[in-house]
Amino acid sequence: MYNVWEKDITYLKRVGPQRAEIFAKECNIRTYGELIHYYPRKYVDRTRISRISDIQGDETFVTLVGKITRTEVTKTRQGRGIMTATFTDGSGFLELNWFQGIKWIQKSLKIGEEIALFGRPSLFGSKLQISHPEIDYLKEEEGNNPKNVLKIVPFYPSSEKLSRMGMDSRGIRTIMGKLLEEAGDHITENLNNDLMRQCGLISHREALLNIHFPESWEKLEMAQRRLKFEEFFFFQLMLAGKRKDAKTHNFGNPFTQIGPYFNDFFQHHMPFDLTDAQKRVLKEVRRDLAQPIQMNRLIQGDVGSGKTMVAFMTMLMAKDNGFQSAIMTPTAILAEQHFKKITLMAEQVGLKTTLLVGGQRKKERDEALEGLASGETDIAIGTHALIEDAVVFHRLGLVVVDEQHKFGVKQRARLWQKGSPFPHNMLMTATPIPRTLAMTLYGDVDVSIIDELPPGRQPIKTMVFGESKRLEVFGFIRRELEAGRQAYVVYPLVEESEKVDLLAAEKGHELLERHFSGFRVGIVHGRMNSEVKEFEMARFVKKETHILVSTTVIEVGVDVSNASLMLIENAERFGLSQLHQLRGRVGRGQYQSYCVLMAGHKLSADGKKRLAAMRETNDGFKISEIDLELRGPGDFLGTRQSGLPEFHLANVVEDQDILKIARSAAFALVEADPELTSENNRTVREAYRDYLRKTDTEGTIA
């Protein structure tokens, strides 16, 4: 069937091959269907008509309606053409000037014909004049469809190259007018009447016509609402579909028992009381595990909120039901810390653990593999080394992924493959995704939140200083060290300036060694081989070094409760969530802890906001909301894990009300008619199929 939306824009009036080529290159627009989604970036109201007699002199832009009484082409002294015309609206006269495109204007501007114009008057001597006004011809005849004046006028984004080809905002406006003239009647509905009524939406056609050429501000708002809704709706349909699939197809082993291992630990070996938040999350987890469906749950909790304990107690449930567990971490250091902590707790109830990281000796590794394959080992703790083919489990029932955002979807899935049916899946992250974003992104993942820190923690005090305060800051560090504490000093490191950054860290290390001569200063960075790095880290853990200089390698996980101070150099160069993660390395023991942010002198507006946010709050959820606001969803999530499609109009932060409506409508629709087979949903089904064809996202991030 012929579909006008597949038509090449080369064939659209006023476009042609050259312009079409630029459109393809600059905007990735090739078809009518793609062009119609090229939306204005702003609108200007040109409906209020002024009178010449009311114009005082140099003013802002005005709209005038009247006639041309005289035209004339003259030449400047340099020999360039100027066209002038006299224009009147009955209340006075003014002069119009053109320095370019004269031939064309001369041809189209007829004396006595009614026109509307828009421009900025200036006073030249006693004469009012407007240069290069925008004009609409008001005489009714074919092709005279006023678009530029007397309307709410759309302004389109353009580029240097587009403009050079006559496709500045005004040029694109003309082309868009032609597009709607030719194809506007072919805009079909992609939702259905029920949805439109329930959600208070205007039709697809009305929305597209009004997004380009709004009849009124009210209509424009309705058009925006409708189109934003669509963008959310089809994405949410996809998530709803995934969820439905996961719930119907991903069988899991129900963990029906709470048995001796869990009870023994809980009654006799708990080192502390669980926080209410930890208890609540454990309950949510238990409810999932009792189902014959694979659990897929993300545990979000700020640094230090006690996620590891929740994971460990879930592993005890696995053991009670005859299953092994695995926990995967992004770094070897973190794996080893988990290994030590978990092993201590596991031994108390007679469970066996094993460590699997890169670079282990063959004998050690073979033993680890054997224990897992035979089922003698209950809990495997490791890095990516866990997903290698050689790693075989006897009966894997639970997979925990720590700092899940550091792993790709495929890596996580490879760990699941090691159990059959799929093991239950617990994802943990200390970089909370704001509730708003979590709601948009997750289809097949349930979210639990640990929004409470264990009692007795003193909030970290955060301060911001400039270079001029360096001596005071050093004095402060000295006092902490003399009191027996330890300190981190962190330098930024980014790929683009890695060499310079490393040099800065090394110089800083030297400076600190000289300044703090009575203390030992260690250094770790990503360029060291992992043995040296581990050695340096271990020295700090054992208090053999007092200050640890590092690039951001200490970001995740490491736990040194005696460290009470973190100094971050060039703090403005770090992202907000990253700063918060770093800060989480201190404040892990009973001591009052401090985070000192050293700021350079050239701070951007966003840089200032980041530092201010750090000073004002310790709450990871608040931090992530602010970070999301500052960076926008795309950057916030990073490309790797973001399954977020590109929304043209909608914004997941600002349009949450529409998002909520779209999400519940989509989920309800899939619940009622999973395959969208009913006749009433035909239009939705067709549009959705189209959407899936054009969307290449992997779907959800988890």
Binding site for ligand ADP (CB under 6 A): 272-275, 278, 301, 303-309, 430, 454
Beta-carbon count within 10 A of 468 CB: 8
Contacts of 465 (CB under 8 A, 6+ apart): 472, 473, 596, 597, 598, 599
**Block residue for tokens 């009381």:** 273
d(CA 171, CA 114) in angstroms, rounded, equals 22
**Closest distance of CB 563 from ligand ADP, Å:** 13
**Closest distance of CB 311 from ligand ADP, Å:** 8
d(CA 186, CA 427) in angstroms, rounded, equals 47
**Block residue for tokens 């271990």:** 538
455 CB-contact burial (10 Å; exposed 0-12 / middle 13-18 / buried 19+): exposed
Select 583 or 685, whichever has its Cβ closest to ligand ADP: 583
Which sign does the torsion angle of CA 184, 644, 450, 431 carry? negative
* Contact status, residue 446 vs residue 700, Cβ threshold 8 Å: no
**Closest distance of CB 335 from ligand ADP, Å:** 13
**Closest distance of CB 589 from ligand ADP, Å:** 8
145 CB-contact burial (10 Å; exposed 0-12 / middle 13-18 / buried 19+): middle
Q: Which residue number places its CB atom closest to ligand ADP?
A: 306
Select 166 or 454, whichever has its Cβ closest to ligand ADP: 454
Select 365 or 588, whichever has its Cβ closest to ligand ADP: 588
**Closest distance of CB 638 from ligand ADP, Å:** 21
Select 421 or 454, whichever has its Cβ closest to ligand ADP: 454
Beta-carbon count within 10 A of 242 CB: 17
d(CA 430, CA 582) in angstroms, rounded, equals 11
**Closest distance of CB 326 from ligand ADP, Å:** 17
Select 35 or 277, whichever has its Cβ closest to ligand ADP: 277
Nearest by Cα to 241 from 666, 660, 662: 666
Select 303 or 658, whichever has its Cβ closest to ligand ADP: 303
**Closest distance of CB 278 from ligand ADP, Å:** 6
**Closest distance of CB 590 from ligand ADP, Å:** 11
- The 3-class secondary structure across 119-154, one letter per residue, is ECCEEECCEEEEECCEEEECCCCCCCCCCCCCCEEE
Select 79 or 456, whichever has its Cβ closest to ligand ADP: 456
Tokens of 137: 């011809």
Select 116 or 328, whichever has its Cβ closest to ligand ADP: 328
Q: Amino acid identity of 290?
A: A
Select 192 or 337, whichever has its Cβ closest to ligand ADP: 337
Select 11 or 272, whichever has its Cβ closest to ligand ADP: 272
Select 82 or 274, whichever has its Cβ closest to ligand ADP: 274
SS3 651: coil
**Closest distance of CB 177 from ligand ADP, Å:** 58
Eight-state DSSP code of residue 330: S
Q: Provide the H-helix boundaries in 452-527.
A: 470-482, 498-515
Select 300 or 551, whichever has its Cβ closest to ligand ADP: 300
Select 402 or 572, whichever has its Cβ closest to ligand ADP: 402
**Closest distance of CB 305 from ligand ADP, Å:** 4
DSSP 3-22: -GGGSBGGGSTTTHHHHHHH
The backbone region for 320, taken as left when phi is positive above 0, alpha when psi lies in -120 to 50, beta otherwise, is alpha
**Closest distance of CB 355 from ligand ADP, Å:** 17
- Judging by DSSP bridges, how do beta strands 563-568 and 594-599 pair with one another? parallel
Select 307 or 580, whichever has its Cβ closest to ligand ADP: 307
d(CA 430, CA 410) in angstroms, rounded, equals 21
Q: In the sheet that 563-568 helps form, which strands lie side by side, from edge to edge? A: 461-466, 594-599, 563-568, 486-490, 547-550, 521-524
Select 195 or 332, whichever has its Cβ closest to ligand ADP: 332
Task: Kindly state the helix (H) or strand (E) to which residue 354 belongs, with its residue range.
Answer: strand 353-356
**Closest distance of CB 585 from ligand ADP, Å:** 10
CA distances from 474 to 470, 513, 598 (A): 6, 12, 12
**Closest distance of CB 652 from ligand ADP, Å:** 26
**Closest distance of CB 429 from ligand ADP, Å:** 9
**Closest distance of CB 279 from ligand ADP, Å:** 9
Contacts of 226 (CB under 8 A, 6+ apart): 201, 202, 203, 204, 206, 207
Query: Cis (ω within 30 of 0) for the bond into 292?
Result: no
Q: 154-191 burial by CB neighbour count: b if 16+ within 10 A, else e?
A: bebebeeebeebebbbbbbbbbbbbbbeebeeebeebb
Length of the chain equals: 702
Select 304 or 382, whichever has its Cβ closest to ligand ADP: 304
**Block residue for tokens 């054992």:** 542
d(CA 454, CA 649) in angstroms, rounded, equals 42
**Closest distance of CB 631 from ligand ADP, Å:** 23
Nearest by Cα to 349 from 307, 310, 319, 374: 319
